[in-house]
Amino acid sequence: MSTDVTLPALGESVTEGTVTRWLKAVGDTITMDEPLLEVSTDKVDTEIPAPAGGVLLEILVGEDETVDVGTVVCRIGEASEAGAGAPAPVADAPVVSAPVEAVPTASVPEPAPAVVAAPEPVATPEPAVAPVASPAPAAAPSLAVRASDATDVLLPALGESVTEGTVTRWLKAVGDTIAADEPLLEVSTDKVDTEIPAPAAGTLLEILVNEDETVDVGTVVARIGSVPPAASAPTPTPAPVEAPAAPVAVAPAPVAAPAPVVAPAPAPAPVEAPVAPVAVAPAPAAPAAVPMPAPAATPAPSAGSTSGYVTPIVRKLASDNGVDLASVAGTGVGGRIRKEDILAATAVAVTPAPVAAPAAPAAPAAPATAAAAVSPLRGTTVKMSRIRTLTADKMMESLHGMAQLTSIVEVDCSRIWNLRAKAKGAFEAREGAKLTFLPFFTKAVADALVEHAFLNASVVDGSIVYHPSVNLSLAVDTEKGLMLPTLRDADSKSLADHARGIADLASRARTGGLKADEISGGTFSITNTGSGGTLLDTPIVPSPQVGILATTIIEKRVVVSKGPQGEDVLSIKPMCYLPLSYDHRIVDGADAARFLQTVKARIEAGAFEAELGL
């Protein structure tokens, strides 16, 4: 009995998803929990495992198609149930317009004489009529199959509220041979700039949307067809056709003789589409065509296709770090290259660099550093991307939609500085996560928000919602841009829970492993600008939250403090600033100051010994 595979709920607010790639084909044997397809939502990209073992009987939702949660996307059953699907494509045989699919011009002349030779009054082409008559019934289903194999490339839904996209660049030209999942074009939407992979292998037959043109989601932007659309059908089916085909080929031979220039023409462009029909139809050309595809297939591994589809982010990361994808062994599903593989390869490449640097004289090192610092954007004018435009709009909307104000306190971090120095080694061995300064601040903030609930709130439809638990949105810098994964129930977690949670969320945010409900539901935000060396910051409150705290760099400074007898003394202490931006419509300055003083007191007291095992 077959099993329906439905699109699962991938987050509390996710109602639909887009099938980005099928990892299995109809007829493949599948084991339970084996990755079956990839799905993209406006919040997360993930793989969907098979709910049962068996044979993939039917795929009901095509790639780049968006469907609601709960929709049946495919069926899995026993091998005995997999027989009914074969005749279906053959039933589409009576498509006379299928020859139109023979876009390559080399194959057009061959059907033309065949149609002319069909009338019986012509006595000479009788031998040609016989072969044409025999392949005709076989060619019709083959052509129908070719027609059904021609794939429309649609503009996919790249987000829940995205309704249109702009084609920014075509990566392939008409006539180019394309591998499945190979990047085909670049698209920009309100939410993301990304590459669209080819949904199928073949030849790019037609480009329907030009660069810088904006179209709706679901619009057909291009068509991909098989490389040998018509010539391959007559040749393999009837064996006798090859015999008459030889004399027919001899007839055009003298025609080609007066124009010997035609022969060199294919030579300069062996990769072009005409080579493929020659390789399939005429037997003599087959040996010449065999070496042709070989070089065409060789460059593909260098593009990283040896490990399957490489995502645009991974490809960009490899390019930025000078990593050859062909030299990277993928550790993902089916050998796919993941970001961790590129980062590991980069680490290996970077390791010898510092060793060589000390050996090199200081003079050559300086110019090398200066050259690396030169931005390729110098002297250029670049159109603002849609995602950057949207980000700007959202920031301005947040600034104009609330009365934002920033208050700042200076904090003595001596206690947590010393505690961390004592406990970080044992803590990492025990908890499996590094002990950074950030967990001390997130723990102090979570505790303070329990007391100062006016900052753990949201403004919704003119009402103030005071949340029952503290869910911290933690700003993480990723290649896609700034992400805000949520550390849920932070007020009930220990310092160790904070350290592990922060490390886990940050790691998965950078590798694209977050689930949809892990980047929503935040009630207060924290941004660690100090990790980039920032001394002071005025962060923008993300609506509908009403507060965000920045943790800046901790650095040793000379400060005035009290001596043993109350006298003023100069001392060197690790200090930092804590800027708090808040919505002044519902949070008064005095309330914000009291909250900051609570956080400051918690950090300066540094009463974390029990949680650190000291």
Burial 467-477, CB ≥16 within 10 A → b, else e: beebbbbbbbb
Q: How far apart are CA 224 and CA 198, in angstroms?
A: 8
CB neighbour list of residue 403: distance below 8 Å, 6 or more residues apart: 583, 584, 585
Q: Given phi > 0 = left and psi -120 to 50 = alpha, else beta, which region is 566?
A: left
Q: How far apart are CA 341 and CA 35, in angstroms?
A: 20
Q: How far apart are CA 187 and CA 193, in angstroms?
A: 6
Q: Exposure of 448 by Cβ count < 10 A (0-12 exposed, 13-18 middle, 19+ buried)? A: buried
Question: Which long-range CB contacts under 8 A does 240-249 form with residues at least 24 apart?
Answer: 240/131, 240/134, 241/131, 241/134, 241/135, 242/283, 244/127, 244/128, 244/130, 244/131, 245/131, 245/281, 245/282, 246/283, 247/127, 248/113, 248/128, 249/282, 249/284
Q: How far apart are CA 277 and CA 227, in angstroms?
A: 8
Q: How far apart are CA 580 and CA 539, in angstroms?
A: 8
Marked catalytic residue, from 68, 324, 393, 588: 588
Marked catalytic residue, from 152, 447, 584, 591: 584
Contact 315, 304 (CB under 8 A): yes
- Pair of tokens at residue 200: 């199928």
Contact 44, 67 (CB under 8 A): no
- Provide the terminal-to-terminal Cα distance of the chain, rounded to the nearest Å: 60
Distances (CA, A) of 9 to 217, 283, 483, 575: 22, 54, 21, 46
- Judge whether 584 counts as a catalytic residue: yes
Phi, psi of 339, deg, nearest 5 = -60, -35
- Judge whether 588 counts as a catalytic residue: yes
CB neighbour list of residue 470: distance below 8 Å, 6 or more residues apart: 446, 449, 450, 456, 489, 490, 491, 523, 524
CA-only gyration radius of the chain, Å: 32
Contact 346, 321 (CB under 8 A): yes
Chain centre to alpha carbon of residue 165: 16
**Catalytic residue list:** 584, 588
